Amino acid sequence: MLAEQVGQWRQQAMRGGADLLDAVSRLTAATKEGSIDAAYVLAVMTADGIGVAQDLKASLTHLQHAAEGGHPLAQKELAALVGNWRLVRDISAGKASRQQTWAQLRAAVDVAGWLRIPEGRVFSAEPRIATVKSYLSSPACDWLIALGRSNLKAAQVYDAETGNLRADSNRNNSAAQLDLERMDTLTAFVRARIAALANVSIVGLETSQVLHYRVGEEFAEHCDFLDPSNPGHARDVALHGQRALTVLVYLNDDYEGGETAFPALGRGFKGRKGDALVFWNLTPEGAPDWRTRHIGSAPTRGEKWLFSQWIRIPLAAASA
């Protein structure tokens, strides 16, 4: 089975609907025929619930199969999910590993630990904002930066009238969209960890982003919810639900400035590497909470990296 063919099925899956189901069928058949490339893609899709029910343990089975067949990404990601970063470096350097390593690593992945909800700290009771220390490990942060770095493009905003994405003078940073074409199993496990933290289904998570800010780059004061008084936003909310929750993970801390500022509170937050900031964009009654207006402030020295996750909930749930 050619890797190019598997890549085409992966792109086909991104179109959704019947194309997604057909791609899953083809990938499943190819995996049974021994394709390690298909097994790897199925591992990613199963971890994130794309076209199949989300199942982290089943994802690991696919990942182990691909790793045993010599798939380098599967091998590195299996080691990363365990937290064996020395082995990740060895694999990246082309050093071979014993065959039995992959079964041992698969057994060592602590799925329950990935989904365990850590203790948070209240940053603000009204609006609802919390922080979580050491939400991701330092090497996992480095992994996400590397994944995002090669896929950066100018960041965009939702147009209030059309609902389409467009450039805006209030936002001049860059962003990498971690869609199915770019996602890996570590990213999918991070998304599952965030879904557990927010107590939502994985289907509520929008495409994850890695955000990058150089000196002088910012995202000026804005809200993450979609304003239903704007036609484009209202159509989007009706179709996909309201953007109720934002999770930001700080992927580095070796920069100056660059806090996430909340003008209504008169203060901001700048996490250490691996820390998370969580805030509800809606009031407890489900209405847009304008007090969550915030600024992605520009660093004054160095560069800032964030993992950004917006979470949607249906309209009925937002007002429940």
The pLDDT confidence band at residue 159, using thresholds 50, 70 and 90, is confident
- Reported as a pLDDT band with limits 50, 70 and 90, residue 140 is very high
Identify the pLDDT of residue 316.
64
pLDDT class for 210, splitting at 50, 70, 90? very high
Which pair of tokens denotes residue 84?
A: 């064996």
Tokens encoding 288: 């847009």
Q: pLDDT band for 318, please (50, 70, 90 cuts).
A: low
Residues comprising the chain, all counted: 320
Three-class SS state of 223? coil
Q: How many helices (H) and strands (E) does the chain have?
A: 12, 16
**How far apart (Å, rounded) are the C-alpha atoms in residues 98 and 228?**
56
| CA angle (38, 65, 147) in 5-degree steps | 65
Query: Would you give the DSSP letter of residue 276?
Result: E
State pLDDT tens for residues 26-76.
Answer: 999 999 999 999 999 999 999 999 999 999 999 999 999 999 999 999 999
pLDDT of residue 292: 98
pLDDT of 320 above 60: no
Q: Average the pLDDT over 233-245 and give the result.
A: 93
Helices 56-68, 36-48: inter-axial angle, 10-degree rounding: 160
Contacts of 23 by beta carbon, 8 Å cutoff, 6+ apart = 9, 10, 12, 13, 51
pLDDT tens for 290-305 read 999 999 999 999 999 9
> pLDDT-based confidence at 319, cuts 50/70/90?
low
Structure confidence at residue 158 (pLDDT): 84
Q: What is the DSSP string of 16-78?
A: -HHHHHHHHHHHHHHHHTT-HHHHHHHHHHHHHTSSS---HHHHHHHHHHHHHTT-HHHHHHH
Burial classification of residue 1, based on how many CB atoms lie within 10 Å of its CB (0-12 exposed, 13-18 middle, 19 or more buried): middle
Pairing of strands 260-262, 267-269: antiparallel
Least confident of 20-24, 56-60, 98-102, 246-250: 98-102
- The helix/strand/coil state of 221 is strand
Q: Read off the pTM.
A: 0.96
Superfamily assignment of 115-318 in CATH?
A: q2cbj1_9rhob like domain (2.60.120.620)
Write the pLDDT tens digit of every residue in 175-189: 999 999 999 999 999
pLDDT of residue 60: 98
Task: Check whether 220 has a pLDDT greater than 60.
Answer: yes
SS3 122: strand
Is the N-terminal amide bond of 127 cis, ω within 30° of 0?
Answer: yes
Q: Where are the domains of the chain?
A: 3-109, 115-318
Asked if pLDDT for residue 1 goes beyond 60, the answer is: no
* Mean pLDDT of all residues belonging to the chain: 95
Average pLDDT over residues 239-244: 94
**What span, in angstroms and rounded, lies between the C-alpha atoms of 207 and 48?**
11
